[in-house]
Amino acid sequence: MSILSSAVKSELNSSKHEIQNASADISKEFKNFLYDVEDLFKSSTSLTGDDLNKAKEQLNQRIKKARATLDDASGNILQHARRTAALTNEYAHQQPWKIVGAGVAISFLLGYALASRD
């Protein structure tokens, strides 16, 4: 195995963990956001004047926080995806016959599996 293939594997593992973490963060943030909005909605039904304006401001701040969390998570995912794509592209250019061989093997196995169904 070449050094580059281990770098690609390492980057793929890193990207996988980053995506899993970002997904968990997004899910947690979304649930918290819904709970906060629901609480604000319930409490704001009887509010008037300044209290209603404070509730609106709290809601706006919560929306900004949720957007920031989502932007941060998506930025991290995008950054890892770009690095992984660049490393994979570099590997493909340095090891084209391995990729061609893998493609031929997969095609052969797929063709064999489909042909045996008849």
Q: Specify the CATH number for the domain of residue 105.
A: 1.20.58
- What is the chain's percent helix, strand, coil content, to nearest 5? 90, 0, 10
pLDDT digits (tens, 9 = 90+) for 31-64: 888 888 788 777 777 767 888 788 788 888 888 8
Instruction: Judge whether 11 and 79 are in contact, CB under 8 Å.
Output: no
pLDDT band at 95 (very low <50, low <70, confident <90, very high): confident
Domains in the chain: how many in total? 1
Rounded to an integer, what distance in angstroms lies between the CA atom of residue 2 and that of residue 96? 13
Helix spans in 45-95 (H): 49-94
Q: Taking the model in full, what pTM does it have?
A: 0.51
Q: Which domain holds residue 108?
A: 3-115
